[in-house]
Amino acid sequence: ARAAMQPLAQPAEPASGLAPGAVLRSLASQATYTAERRLGAGAFGTVWLCREGQRGERRAVKLLCTGRAAALAAEVEQLRRAVEASGEFCVPRLYEAAEATVFGQPGS
């Protein structure tokens, strides 16, 4: 049986005042994502529905709270190894795990 999920802390505030229409750029692949709407927030950050710039595909993008990103690095690496070993993942696809920067806000 699955254990019930419990929140770890109060939901985080939206990262850096991100707003619909803001453009994110991956520092690893240079891919761009335009924020459409905030899907949710939790202890580690916020999740936004975004549209990928090149192909126009919709993706859920998780923005980690600055203080939490470093603490999660080991967990992300462990998850990658588990995915490689089993060939399975609990979500349809992890496209990219990388640092990103907001380089455009609507109206700026």
Q: Does 98 show up as a binding residue in the annotation?
A: no
HEC per residue, the chain: CCCCCCCCCCCCCCHHHCCCCCEEEECCCCCEEEEEEEEEEECCEEEEEEEECCCCCEEEEEEECHHHHHHHHHHHHHHHHHHHHHCCCCCCCCCCCCCEEEEECCCC
Which residues sit in the known binding site? 62
Which residues sit in the known binding site for ATP? 62
